[in-house]
């Protein structure tokens, strides 16, 4: 069961970063509302769930706290981590997991909304998209950085920016650039240099991978089948000799027999003996397994080897036996002596951020905010993460207790008040004292 005394201690810890003591009540009300079993967790339903006899006043208070009050969402996330991270065991290593998530929206006035790819819908549609980084280990994970992606049509529209309260310092940045900014901030603040995980939306960007190396961060990132590499044992010829005029050549040379190939072509050229069945994690009911091959390659740059020669790294190929072609490809800078089983297990740790978003959206109302402003969007999101962080901490504490069962407090939520009256219910007489 969730401990109410620990919840009070947790809120006291978070409230220290709010700036004013009178915001403590707003924090408690909002986080409690997010953990109530409501079908919709925007401000009005939460106000009705918290105080059904004074909905209007509670609604105003919650709305002011989330949309108007000037407190730092970055500091709130930092305090969530200060509470949770010491409970996480990183003796087996940790991960920084990069991802973005979409929120379908009607209309065009909510900050950052435009027609773009929405992962929830699996297609282009009207939505908002946020980029986040989660800190994860084998036990748990928590988002530690979260920022709305502001499309160019918004970034360049001064009138829309002002109306939505977009800070002047926020300029247009791609999702990859936002993720790198978040990582650079974490590293600058002294965060450990864990391995970075990201899907192909980030992994195909050569500049992104190069910057991770410059930051001293190993990575396992998804790539597409069209990425070009030098196959195992095949390397380009040295650049043309320097003529003494202009810049010295750095472009590796290729020949008809010595040239890079797409990773899909390389996968088809590998012998069947290169693939092994690997089990990487115990799922809900069965052990998760797949068929994989890993070979050492050099990335050939964005245009068939016209860039400098890159260091060797792993190409991991996932090819289910029943499929006619590979399912996924990954590039990784993890050490050459890592085993295939370890490489596969680490590549599949991205499921952690998928679990984060599943719980945050289904149970804690991450996508339910109905305001239109920049501040409210980020405040609501970090308060959802704060509520989630407390539940994750309780889950870890329960799992570490003697005789604990798996997922002992998974998705624990508070109960509705005994006198809760849903909005729209028929009137009824007040109970006698």
- Confidence label for 157 from pLDDT (cuts 50, 70 and 90): very high
Within a domain: residue 180? no
Is the pLDDT at 345 greater than 90? The verdict is: yes
Is 130 within the bounds of a domain? no
pLDDT at 209: 96
Neighbour-count burial for 190-218, b at 16+ CB within 10 Å, e otherwise: ebeebbbbbbbbbbbbeebbebbeebebb
pTM summary value = 0.88
Residue 295 shares a structural domain with residue 208: yes
Establish if 109 belongs to a structural domain: no
Are residues 400 and 327 both part of a single domain? no
| Mean pLDDT, the chain, whole residue set | 89
Q: What's the pLDDT band for 197 if we cut at 50, 70, 90?
A: very high
Longest dimension (CA), the chain: 99
* 70 part of a folded domain: yes
Residues 386 and 341 placed together within one structural domain of the fold: no
Instruction: Give the pLDDT of residue 246.
Output: 78
> Residue 432's pLDDT is what?
46
- H helix or E strand, kind and range, residue 41: none
Is 40 within 8 Å of 424 (Cβ atoms)? no
Place of tokens 């704060």: 386
Token output for 199: 């899907």
Distance in angstroms (rounded) separating the CA atoms of residues 99 and 175: 9
pLDDT at 256 over 80: no
Whether 335 shows a pLDDT value over 60: the answer reads yes
DSSP character at residue 308: P
Asked, for residue 184, whether it belongs to a domain, the answer is no
The predicted pLDDT at position 107 comes to 85
User: In this structure, which long-range contacts are made by residues 205-213, counting pairs with CB atoms below 8 Å and at least 24 apart in sequence?
Assistant: 205/176, 206/299, 206/301, 206/302, 206/307, 207/176, 208/176, 208/179, 208/180, 209/299, 209/331, 211/180, 212/183, 212/333, 213/333
CA-based nearest residue to 37, from 381, 399, 387: 387
Parallel, antiparallel, or unpaired: how do β-strands 312-318 and 287-299 relate?
antiparallel
C-alpha neighbours within 13 Å on the C-beta side of residue 121: 15
Q: How far apart are CA 398 and CA 410, in angstroms?
A: 10
How many domains would you assign to the chain? Answer: 2
In a domain, residue 363? The reply is no
Let me know whether 310 and 412 are in one domain.
no
Pull the structure tokens for residue 60: 């105003």
Residue 412 has pLDDT above 80, yes or no: no
Backbone angles phi, psi at 195, to 5 degrees: -70, 140
Are 214 and 318 found together in one domain?
Answer: yes
> In Å, how far from its chain's centre is CA 293?
27
Residue 14 and residue 81 in one domain:
yes
Q: Are residues 222 and 294 in the same domain?
A: yes
Domain end point (choices 350, 380, 402): 350
Query: HEC string of 77-132?
Result: HHHHHHHHHHHCCCCCCCEEEEEEEEEECCCCCCCCCEEEEECCCCEEEEEEEEEE
* Per-residue pLDDT at 58 exceeds 90: yes
Q: Are residues 214 and 307 in the same domain?
A: yes
430 occurs within a structural domain: no
3-state DSSP percent of the chain in helix, strand and coil, to 5: 35, 20, 45
C-alpha–C-alpha distance, residues 2 and 412, integer Å: 7
Whether 223 and 310 map to the same domain: the answer is yes
Residues 19 and 71 in one domain: yes
- CA dihedral (171, 172, 173, 174) in degrees, to 10, reads 170
In tens, the pLDDT along 109-138 reads 999 999 999 988 889 999 999 999 999 998
Q: Are residues 302 and 417 in the same domain?
A: no
User: Residues 63, 43: contact at Cβ < 8 Å?
Assistant: yes
On whether both 272 and 382 belong to a single domain, the answer is no
Q: Is 62 among the domain residues?
A: yes
Q: Which domain holds residue 213?
A: 202-234+251-350
Percent of the chain with pLDDT over 70: 90
Which among 20-29, 251-260, 419-428 has the top mean pLDDT? 20-29
Over residues 265-309, the pLDDT tens digits come to 999 999 999 999 999 887 767 788 999 999 999 998 754 444 567
């Amino acid at each position: 069961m969730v401990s109410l005394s620990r919840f009070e201690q947790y809120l006291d810890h978070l409230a220290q970063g709010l700036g004013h003591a009178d915001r403590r009540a707003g924090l408690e009300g909002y986080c409690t509302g997010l953990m109530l079993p409501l079908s919709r967790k925007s401000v009005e339903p939460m106000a009705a769930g918290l105080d059904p006899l004074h909905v209007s006043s509670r609604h105003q208070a919650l709305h002011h706290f989330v949309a108007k009050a000037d407190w730092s969402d970055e500091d709130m996330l930092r305090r969530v981590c200060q509470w949770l991270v010491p409970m996480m065991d990183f003796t087996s290593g940790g991960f920084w997991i990069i991802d973005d998530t979409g929120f379908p929206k009607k209309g065009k006035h909510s900050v950052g909304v435009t027609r773009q790819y929405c992962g929830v819908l699996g297609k282009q549609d009207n939505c908002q998209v946020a980029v986040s980084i989660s800190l994860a280990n084998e036990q748990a994970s928590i988002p530690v950085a979260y920022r709305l992606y502001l499309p160019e049509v918004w970034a360049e529209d001064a009138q829309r920016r002002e109306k939505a309260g977009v800070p002047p310092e926020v300029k247009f940045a791609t999702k990859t650039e936002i993720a790198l900014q978040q990582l650079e901030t974490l590293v600058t603040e002294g965060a450990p240099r864990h391995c970075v995980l990201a899907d192909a939306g980030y992994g195909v960007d050569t500049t992104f991978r190069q910057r991770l190396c410059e930051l001293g961060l190993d990575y396992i990132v998804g790539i597409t089948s069209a990425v070009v590499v030098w196959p195992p044992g095949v390397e380009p010829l040295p650049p043309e000799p320097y003529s003494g005029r202009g810049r010295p050549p750095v472009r590796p040379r290729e020949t008809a027999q010595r040239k890079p190939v797409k990773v899909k072509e390389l996968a088809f050229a590998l012998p069947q003996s290169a693939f092994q069945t690997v089990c990487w994690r115990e799922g809900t009911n069965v052990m998760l397994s797949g068929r994989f091959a890993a070979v050492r390659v050099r990335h050939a740059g964005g245009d068939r080897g016209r860039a400098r020669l890159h260091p060797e790294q792993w190409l991991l190929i996932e090819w289910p036996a029943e499929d006619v072609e590979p399912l996924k490809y990954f590039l990784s800078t993890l050490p050459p002596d890592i085993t295939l089983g370890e490489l596969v297990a680490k590549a599949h740790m991205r499921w952690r951020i998928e679990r984060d978003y599943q719980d945050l959206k289904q149970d804690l109302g991450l996508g339910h905010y109905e305001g239109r402003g920049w501040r409210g969007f980020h405040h609501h999101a970090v308060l959802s993460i704060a509520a989630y962080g407390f539940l994750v901490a309780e889950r870890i504490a329960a799992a570490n207790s003697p005789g604990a069962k798996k997922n002992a407090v998974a998705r624990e939520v508070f109960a509705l008040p005994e006198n809760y009256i849903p909005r729209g219910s028929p009137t009824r007489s007040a109970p006698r004292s």
